[in-house]
Amino acid sequence: MAHILPPAMLGILGGGQLGRMFTMAARSMGYRVTVLDPDTQSPAGMVADRHVCAGYDDEGALEDLARSCAAVTTEFENVPADSLRFLELRTRVSPSSACVAIAQDRIAEKRYIAGAGLAVAPFLAVESAEDLGGDLAPLLPGILKTARFGYDGKGQARVETQEQALSAFEAFGCPPCVLERRLELDTEVSVIVARSSAKQVGTFPIAENHHEGGILDLSIVPARVRPEIAAKAAEMACALAEAMNYTGVLAVEFFVLRDGGLVINEIAPRPHNSGHYTLDACLASQFEQQVRTLCKLPPADTRLLSPVVMVNLLGDIWRDDEPAWDLILSEPCAVLHLYGKSEARVGRKMGHFNVLAETAEAALEKAEALKRALLI
């Protein structure tokens, strides 16, 4: 398996913050990067060598990418699968279109994970109102989720009764959905896997994740769970990557149940918000791993150099002016990352900061203090 080495041109579909951080990692390693994104002001396009400003299904743009790039990846799972298949016939693509397609559809995702012998919450595929007409007692109270295009809590509704499930389904416009039983949770964790081949696999230390309004608020690393739970999560994430024959960076989110059980919630075939701590607290970041796995190189060492807490910065904190960044920039143990987005909106991810400390508890205390200060 021949390595792809600098100064090769790499391509990425998607110009958001994940694409931006991939581009910065690739360029620091000596690679060149072409970004395909329809937004003239895309964060990744601003720092790439080339920005092809076109739609993800633009055949001419895809031909350009295939012709000029030694390999192509994606920063989000909702890129048209046909575009990835088009590119696969012409250049190296990682992760594969087949793997991305699994993550694009919650029904396919749940069925695949369960078929691989890994635990998921009890669920029902809902493709019509008739599917909600049977006995739903084993699935209630539950959460109805649209099968496609849901993220950060969008396309989800908590339901207590059959009538509420039907109403939510109709309110969504009757698209394919998944009805999933709500479980008694202790916490939520995630594992970032970097896999180049069956013998070249690495996992970062698992993150403990806390959400507000369906959006990740902060991640604590190392996660405050029992060692056997952390080990089991890593084992399950690697087993899923193996079952998918996955190459690239894969994020696997888990529910840790109150009885100590562990079930897979969902997957993302790319770097993940909960892995942003790796930018400052690990020997190599998840974005460097994305570059390495794309280029057929073995994953880098995934050791944690310091306990860390990552805090998301949403557009909510922008008011009439820029937030008081001096609060973070004046703190020696904190690192600020802004994504270069031109417009701040409520709920929009605009950046994050990492706080490093001797212990996770100390990092959390400082991170929460900085977050409160920014909100004042």
Residues 279 and 338 in one domain: yes
Contact 350, 312 (CB under 8 A): no
pLDDT at site 376:
80
Percentage of the chain with pLDDT > 70? 99
Which of 154, 181, 208 is a domain's end point? 181
**Residue 38 maps to a domain:** yes
Q: For position 42, what pLDDT does the model report?
A: 96
- Per the structure, the complete domain to which residue 193 belongs is given by 185-375
Tell me, yes or no, whether 192 and 59 share the same domain: no
What's the CATH number where 30 sits? 3.40.50.20
- Domain-located, residue 112: no
Q: What is the pLDDT of residue 319?
A: 83
Overall number of domains in the chain: 3
Do 34 and 130 have their domain in common? no
Do 138 and 172 share a domain, yes or no?
yes
Which of 72, 93, 114 marks a domain boundary?
93
pLDDT score, position 150: 66
Q: Which amino acid is at 74?
A: T
Choosing from 147, 163, 181, the residue where a domain stops is 181
Is residue 117 situated within a structural domain? Answer: no
pLDDT at 140: 95
Give the long-range contacts of residues 231-239, CB within 8 A, separation 24 or more: 232/262, 233/189, 233/191, 233/206, 233/262, 234/191, 234/203, 234/206, 236/118, 236/119, 236/191, 236/262, 236/264, 237/191, 237/193, 237/203, 238/193, 238/195, 238/201, 238/203, 239/116, 239/117, 239/118
32: in domain: yes
Neighbours of 4 (CB within 10 A): 18
Amino acid letter for position 335: V
The answer to whether residue 102 is domain-embedded is: no
In terms of domains, do 361 and 239 share one? Answer: yes
Is residue 87 one of the residues assigned to a domain?
Answer: yes
* Predicted local confidence at residue 153, as pLDDT: 64
For the chain, which residues score pLDDT lower than 70? 1, 150-153
pTM of the entire structure? 0.95
Q: What is the CATH number of the domain that holds 134?
A: 3.30.1490.20
Q: What is the pLDDT of residue 320?
A: 79
Q: What is the pLDDT of residue 339?
A: 98
353 and 289, same domain (yes or no)? yes
pLDDT for the residue 321:
85
Six-digit token string for 115: 């078929």
Assess whether 212 and 273 both reside in one domain.
Answer: yes
Position 81 scores a pLDDT of: 87
pLDDT at 69: 98
Same domain as 291, residue 232: yes
- Clarify whether residues 156 and 291 are in a common domain: no
